[in-house]
Structure 1
Amino acid sequence: MANESTVQLTSAELSQIWTSYQNDTASICILKYFLKTCEDPDTHTILDHALKLSEAHVAKLTAIFNGEDYPVPAGFSENQDLNIEAPRLFSDQYLLHFMFQMSQISLNAYSVAKSLAVRSDIDAYFAECLQESTELNTMAKQALLSKGLFVRSPYIPYPEKVDYVKKQSFMTGWFGERRPLLSLEIANLFANFQRNSLGVATLVGFSQIAQTKKVGQFFTRGKEIADKHNEIFGSILREDDLPVPMTSDTFVTESKVPPFSDKMMLFIVTALIGLGMGYYGTSISTSLRRDLTVHYDRFIHEILKYSEDGANLFIEHGWMEEPPRASDRDELANN
């Protein structure tokens, strides 16, 4: 059996530690600014805890890259991507909701990374990250609950007995009478609405501080897409007399001073787009009503085009750092 210390990292492991480094270096900048502007002590504690975790992650990931003689990614830095003196852009309520959503995203990301890791040190690292994300998620959830800010998904009645589906019409949705939504379909619609609502607030804030015209227009377009998707999610929930999550107009201030570089804001938005496509894909796979799957399929195609335009903006400005990739055998042969 090979010595674990001499086993090279797989492409799967490289992809996860490289992406984690990008995310954590961006998180350090974001969290330092949020800490500077946050006034609520409970939210401040959560932000500070998250910052310490990201700083520890960057140190451990840097050690892994150095141990492999692999170039440490550029990522993001406070000197180039953060203006810590910028005035408040987002309210404390937004910051707390942001931390809750980020903890949920981290849980999903680290569970995937843990499942892909084979080498014992990488497996142990992501197992630790997964545990940390669980604790952070609980902290944010408890803070939201204690402040009356947590919005629970809709309640539905308990059935009196076990039943079975008897008709093929169970899966229809466009023509004839639609059956009521299933609990998992409700959960996905509700969660997607909440994520989009936070995304709208983020894009509103970013669009008013973007320094590049094209980047600002890109953020405005994303806000319009998210709003349109939420209109449809809301109408489907209301059709079954289910509550629709409320959105907040107090999340964003009127500040025009950018705390973040356009590069980092574009990175955050394109990362959220990718996650959104993943959540929509999960929603398709767990929705049995055809009208829902058609909606999600259309939404995925729309944000896929939006994501491509974001990538083109990255390349156009020379901001896209190339991820780990396979060797180009044709190029090697030509050289």
Structure 2
Amino acid sequence: MTHHPKLTSSELAVLWGAYQNSSLIVCTVSYFLKTVEDEEVRSLLKYTSGLAIEHVEILKEIFKEENHPIPMGFTEQDVNLNADRLFTDTFMLFYLSNVGSMGLNSYGISLPSSSRKVIRDYFSKCLSSAIELYNRVTDVMQEKGVYVRSPHIPYPEQVEFVHKQHFLAGWFGNQRPLTSNEINFLFNNLQRNVLGMGMLTGFSQVTNSAKVSKYFTRGAEIAKHHCAVFSKFLDESNILTPMSSDNLPTSSKQAPFSDKLMMYHTAGVQAAGIGFYGMSLATSPRRDLAASYTRLMAEAGEYTEDGANIMIENGWMEQPPTAPNRKDLARG
């Protein structure tokens, strides 16, 4: 007898999420390909587009074999390839770098969530592709002089151990300098918020909905505020943080994407950001840092909930696979 169990709830979750994200990237990158100017950036976009299209087709086949409805995701109806240029080539590079980075994170979670060999093989291939994309983009960014390195600190002269509780302090008195772990997360969270601020600013000026535009503008302000919080911590330890200055959108008012796609994109970025804040919280012993991450996570969570309400009101939120309601079934 052939043992062929159904997909587990974990596999359904990661496959459904992968389809949403891959179909979104297909639409987003197809528009970027219409407006990009630099040939090296175009080559990276073509590589990313090819990966995303391949992923969508593989996922469709998996769902078909399981007689599972193929998710709606995002289609050509969600992108306007004739819209004017909204984002710069530099923004596109940072965007692709973030796609690679988030792919490493999401596929790293998806692989151990999968039992069936074909699913594990698929996510293993996705991980390899995300690594390749991230490395390619990083090489091009460094060649073009737009790659922003994390801050340098002096090497320690010897191995040291913590002997005082002051290592955990942070609200009053003299604060200890930031550790390399804390600097790493502050810097990366700062970079992600700079990218998010540019993206949301662009979205806010092209949507035709006043309510959605207000939501995107609020998100850009939140990202700006979070950047200020992270910069303050770095400044207090005399850590210099160079930033890219070319992430803001053009003055175009033509929408390249549907409101549904832009809202989902925003929700995905927020969810990833909250996850990164959680990791930052877990590896930042200073109490003032922990308190700030907790507060910023709550702010991001409230913003995400408000976005979900807008998506539900407009019928834009596709429901993921869900367990049956046994109470309703029992009532007949």
Tell me the TM-score normalized by structure 2: 0.98
**Aligned with 1:121 (options 118, 123, 126):** 118
Q: Give the match's secondary structure for 2:70.
A: coil
Superposition pairs of residues 248-287 of structure 1, within 5 angstroms: 248=245, 251-287=248-284
Select which of 34, 37, 61 maps to 2:32: 34
Post-superposition Cα deviations, 1:151-202, rounded to whole Å, max 9, x if no partner, equal 1101111111111111001100001110000000000000000000000000
Runs of 4+ more than 4 Å apart: none
1:55 aligns with 2:87: no
**Could you tell me which residue of structure 1 aligns to residue 10 of structure 2?**
12
What code does the residue aligned with 2:34 have?
Answer: K
| 1:77 equivalent in structure 2 | 75
- Cα deviation 1:137-164 (Å, max 9, x = unaligned): 0000000000011111011111111111
Matched, 1:193 2:214: no
Q: What CA distance in whole angstroms lies between the structure 2 residues aligned with 1:185 and 1:153?
A: 12
Q: Which ranges in structure 2 are unaligned for 5 or more consecutive residues? A: none
1:104 to 101, 116, 141: 101
The runs of 5 or more residues in structure 1 that have no matched partner are: none
Whether the 8 Å contact between 1:203 and 1:220 is mirrored in structure 2 is yes
Cα deviation digits, residues 258-304 of structure 1 (max 9, x gap) = 01000000000010000000000000000010000000000000010
Q: Which residue of 2 aligns with 1:322?
A: 319
143, 147, 170: which one aligns with 2:144: 147
Tell me, in whole angstroms, the C-alpha distance in 2 between the residues paired with 1:256 and 1:98.
Answer: 20
8 Å CA contact 2:198, 2:247 repeated in 1: no
Deviation at 1:249? 5.0
Q: Contact 1:194–1:245 at 8 Å: present in 2 too?
A: no
Following superposition, the deviation at residue 251 of structure 1 comes to: 3.2
Alpha-carbon shift at residue 250 of structure 1 (Å): 5.7
**Which residue, 172, 175, 183 being the options, matches 2:172?**
175
Residue 45 of structure 1 aligns to which amino acid in structure 2? S
What is residue 307 of structure 1 aligned with on the other side? 304
CA drift of 1:73 comes to 0.5
Aligned equivalents of 1:294, 1:62: Cα separation in 2: 43
Please, which of 38, 42, 45 is the counterpart of residue 44 of structure 1? 42
Distance 1:90 1:285 in 2: 34
Range moving further from structure 2, 7-16 or 325-334: 325-334
Q: Hey, what does 1:205 align to over in structure 2?
A: 202
Measured in 2, the distance between the counterparts of 1:210 and 1:243 equals 36
C-alpha distance in structure 2 between counterparts of 1:173 and 1:3, whole Å: 60
Count of residue pairs the alignment pairs up: 332
Between the aligned partners of 1:250 and 1:201, the Cα distance in structure 2 is 5
Query: Retained in 1: the 8 A contact 2:190–2:227?
Result: yes
- Answer yes or no: is 1:230 the counterpart of 2:227: yes
Alpha-carbon offset, residue 334 of structure 1: 2.3
**SS in structure 2 at match of 1:96:** helix
| Cα distance change on mapping 1:284 and 1:43 into 2, 3 Å | same
Within 2, Cα distance between the matches of 1:144 and 1:8?
Answer: 43
Q: Are residues 1:291 and 2:288 paired?
A: yes
Checking the alignment, whether the CA contact within 8 Å between 2:195 and 2:247 is kept in structure 1 is: no
> Within 1, Cα distance between the matches of 2:185 and 2:2?
44
Q: How does 1:89-100 map to 2 (within 5 A)?
A: 89-100=86-97
- Shift of the 250–201 alpha-carbon distance from structure 1 to 2, 3 Å rule, reads closer
Question: Does the 8 A contact of 1:190 with 1:245 survive in 2?
Answer: no
Amino acid at match of 2:193: N
TM-score (norm 1): 0.97
Using the alignment, how far apart are the partners of 1:97 and 1:129 within structure 2? 20
Aligned residue for 2:170, secondary structure, equals coil
